[in-house]
Amino acid sequence: MKSPYIFLERPWFVVVALAGLIGGGFLISTWIRTSDGFLLCPLVSAKGRVSENYDTKPLQLKAILHYATSTIVPQQSISEISITLDVLKSVGRPCNFLVFGLGHDSLMWASFNSGGTTIFLEEDPKWVQNVLKDAPNLHAHTVQYRTQLQQADDLLSSYLSEPNCLPSNAYLRGNRQCKLALENLPEEVYDKEWDLIMIDAPRGYFPEAPGRMAAIFSAAVMSRNRKGSGGTHVFLHDVDRKVEKVFAEEFLCKKFLVNGSGRLWHFEIPSAYNTSRSNAARFC
Ligand SMILES: C[S@@+](CC[C@H](N)C(=O)[O-])C[C@H]1O[C@@H](n2cnc3c(N)ncnc32)[C@H](O)[C@@H]1O
């Protein structure tokens, strides 16, 4: 028969048992600390986890939630949207993405470029407030345009007589002489080189609206002046309208048109910096 005093007869057993108890206690306490008390209080920890994730959850999750629960969808069709998405995917890294216009598509563009920089430029300050109320993570600025749609023909026929509009001289920051130049944008817009530029604003469907003339001209200047490698992808929506079409042909150039679908054109514009094109008399 076994002695009930086995611990006294075999002291090594006591040492092993104690070591096991201490080690086990240490493991359990570590688990409890790192798992946010999951073992001790599942309800509290589940709540804690939800609120922690709520602040830090990726933009994509917000976008899924938004579009899954909204009856309002972006105006661009799936084939138009896919052109930009395919470019973002093909670049294979977070991009600098400048978007003219703030709307129902904004959360989608920002989440497609999650981890990159996506900045929205919007003409209407009230609309900025309205959109940011529901999507405060979006990075948006209000822009003042100096043009009106009804001036489009005059702007096109006269810009070559303003030296600061010429492709060889054109710049944006502070360029008040050239009415097509967006001269008063936030510094961060001038300081970045944009990999993608989406022009789906400002409004251009009534005579007093700003029209897209300055956005198209400024996108062309940004693309030409790019110093980094590769070209700039410029997407222009509403090319079924005369002004968008004519200004695109003048400044973004048919020869740089690489894709299109529906009412969207996609240009890939090479930099003119340090090339023979930098002294060209015309943009195209
Ligand atoms: C031509 S729309 C393009 C909208 C965008 N593609 C989309 O899917 O929402 C662009 C401009 O229309 C204006 N806008 C769009 N939706 C609006 C609304 N519900 N109320 C007022 N302005 C709006 C904003 O000034 C915006 O920059």
Write out the residue range of the structural domain in which residue 244 sits: 59-279
Name residue, tokens 């003119």.
272
- Give the C-alpha distances (Å, rounded to integers) separating 255 from 142, 168, 236, 270, 283: 32, 19, 15, 11, 11
- Do 18 and 124 reside in the same domain of the chain? no
- Provide the pLDDT for residue 1: 44
Name residue, tokens 């002004």.
243
**Whole-prediction pTM:** 0.81
- Do 23 and 105 reside in the same domain of the chain? no
**Which residue did the predictor score with more confidence, 10 or 209?**
209
3-state secondary structure of 166: coil
- Provide the pLDDT for residue 19: 56
Task: Sort residue 57 into left (φ over 0), alpha (ψ -120 to 50) or beta.
Answer: beta
- Do 119 and 257 reside in the same domain of the chain? yes
Quick: pLDDT tens for 237-267: 999 999 999 999 999 999 999 999 999 999 9
In a domain? residue 27: yes
- Do 210 and 127 reside in the same domain of the chain? yes
Note whether 75 and 94 are within 8 A (CB). Answer: no
What average pLDDT does range 22-33 have in this prediction?
A: 46
**Which residue did the predictor score with more confidence, 222 or 19?**
222
Give, for 27, the enclosing helix (H) or strand (E).
helix 11-34
In a domain? residue 1: no
In a domain? residue 258: yes
By alpha-carbon position, which residue is closest to atom 2 of ligand 1? Answer: 201
- Do 37 and 153 reside in the same domain of the chain? no
Q: What is the CATH number for 169? A: 3.40.50.150
In a domain? residue 284: no
How far, in whole angstroms, is CA 132 from its chain's centroid?
15
Q: Give dist(CA 96, CA 77) in Å, integer.
A: 23
By alpha-carbon position, which residue is closest to atom 6 of ligand 1? Answer: 75
How far, in whole angstroms, is CA 39 from its chain's centroid?
41
Note whether 106 and 204 are within 8 A (CB). Answer: no
Cis check: omega of the bond before 74, within 30 degrees of 0: no
3-state secondary structure of 118: strand
Among 84, 100, 104, 206, say which to mutate for ligand 1: greatest number of ligand atoms within 8 Å of CB: 104
In this prediction, residue 65 has a pLDDT band, given cuts at 50, 70 and 90, of very high
Q: What are phi and psi of 150, to 5 degrees?
A: -65, -10
Among 200, 205, 206, say which to mutate for ligand 1: greatest number of ligand atoms within 8 Å of CB: 200
- Do 15 and 46 reside in the same domain of the chain? yes
- Do 29 and 113 reside in the same domain of the chain? no
In a domain? residue 86: yes
- Do 86 and 196 reside in the same domain of the chain? yes
By alpha-carbon position, which residue is closest to atom 21 of ligand 1? Answer: 127
In a domain? residue 148: yes
- Our count of domains for the chain comes to 2
- Do 70 and 169 reside in the same domain of the chain? yes
Name residue, tokens 């979006």.
138
In a domain? residue 227: yes
- Do 154 and 27 reside in the same domain of the chain? no
- Do 44 and 160 reside in the same domain of the chain? no
Question: Does residue 215 have its Cβ closer than 6 Å to ligand 1?
Answer: no
- Do 48 and 91 reside in the same domain of the chain? no
Q: Give dist(CA 44, CA 265) in Å, integer.
A: 52
- Provide the pLDDT for residue 11: 58
Question: Does residue 201 have its Cβ closer than 6 Å to ligand 1?
Answer: yes
Task: Please compute, for residue 164, the number of CA atoms within 13 A of its CA located in the half-sphere on the CB side.
Answer: 14
By alpha-carbon position, which residue is closest to atom 19 of ligand 1? Answer: 103
Among 78, 108, 124, say which to mutate for ligand 1: greatest number of ligand atoms within 8 Å of CB: 124
In this prediction, residue 23 has a pLDDT band, given cuts at 50, 70 and 90, of low
In a domain? residue 170: yes
- Provide the pLDDT for residue 278: 81
End position of a domain, from candidates 25, 41, 56: 56
